[in-house]
Amino acid sequence: MSIALCPGSFDPVTFGHLDIIERSSRQFDDVIVAVIRNPQKAQSLFTLDERQQMLRDVTAHLPNIQIEFFKGLLVDFARDHGANAIVKGLRAVSDFDYELQMAQMNQRLSGIETFFISTSPQHSFLSSSLVREVARFGGDVSSMVPPLVAKRLNERFLEGER
Ligand code: PNS
């Protein structure tokens, strides 16, 4: 049985993430979306539970997806869950250096293989951080994230103004 991980921060999930998750779900028996608990990044906009709920909602149409949290090394999480693949989306050449380095490190640590999927061109400029920034200043993110995520972003930034 093939089990793949789609790891990330998902703060919040974008159409770019969803594209990779959907395409992975067609290639593997099961896909675990692995949401990191302790990102090396500034404070998150959404809590882990909020990110998990949004991911659940936007992947509800896919039968073979689980949403889980992890902390520590991704390869330890992969081993504990019997995963034999990591799937990453590559948006542009600028993603490649770091992704290659992580893939090689994960391969050295555990033997797990990383598979790269080329991001669909209409999503190649998307990142959660840019989406947060656009939404923070009132920009229209409706073509970048699913409707329920756009709603949560608007609510979050309106809350901040009160
Ligand atoms: O969405 P992000 O923040 O770009 O995702 C990065 C993530 C979570 C995939 C990456 O930071 C990761 O795998 N972290 C887990 C820690 C780990 O295993 N580090 C060694 C990787 S070489």
Of the residues 9, 25, 88, 91, only one is catalytic, namely 91
Whether the link from the prior residue into 12 is cis, omega within 30° of 0, is yes
What is 3-124's CATH topology?
Answer: Rossmann fold (3.40.50)
User: What residue's CA is closest to ligand 1, atom 10?
Assistant: 8
Is 71 annotated as catalytic?
A: no
- For 4, list phi and psi in degrees, rounded to 5: -115, 150
pLDDT at 162 over 60: no
β-partners of residue 30 are 3
Domain boundaries, given as residue ranges, for the chain = 3-124
**Which protein residues are within 6 Å of ligand 1, measured from CB?**
7-9, 36, 39, 73-74, 102, 105-106
Per-residue confidence band for 146, with pLDDT thresholds at 50, 70 and 90? very high
CA–CA separation, 14 and 36 (whole Å): 16
What single letter denotes the amino acid at residue 47? T
pLDDT of residue 101: 98
- For 150, list phi and psi in degrees, rounded to 5: -60, -40
What's the pLDDT tens digit per position in 35-89?
999 766 668 999 999 999 999 999 999 999 999 999 999 999 999 999 999 999 9
pTM more than 0.85: yes
User: What average pLDDT does the segment 120-148 reach?
Assistant: 97
Is 123 annotated as catalytic?
A: no
